[in-house]
Amino acid sequence: MAEVGRVNIRLPSAIKPGEVIRVRTLVIHPMEIVQRDKANKIIPRNYHFVHTMTVSYNGKEVMRNEFTQGVSQNPSITFPLKVDKPGKLTVSYADTQGKSYEGSVEVRFS
């Protein structure tokens, strides 16, 4: 299995100032699903899944998402982002075991 916590970010190959681009991100994570017993009661344990994704552009938070354990393994998220100037795009994930994973790319105009 690939390294848990690795974050990939993909941007369009050509970006213009003021454009709304499509950002694709993926985090390698097992995303454990809640298990139930025969009586349909949740089996208590600390399930391991990503619960928060935060996106920052040039140091300013521009988006925050919260997930449940119903999201599939190695979640891939696509979102729009308006880019007015070049800068650093950072995507961070936090999981239920207190670990954080982060990836970043430089947004450049072409």
- Give the pLDDT score at 60: 97
The Cα 100–Cα 71 span in angstroms is 17
Q: What is the mean pLDDT of the chain?
A: 92
- Give the pLDDT score at 2: 65
Return the closest-CA partner of residue 27 out of 46, 58, 47, 2.
2
The mean pLDDT value for 78-85 works out to 97
Q: Hey, where are the domains in the chain?
A: 7-107
The mean pLDDT value for 8-37 works out to 93
The mean pLDDT value for 52-66 works out to 97
Which residue did the predictor score with more confidence, 43 or 70?
43
Name the superfamily (CATH) of residues 7-107.
Answer: Immunoglobulins (2.60.40.10)
- Give the pLDDT score at 8: 97
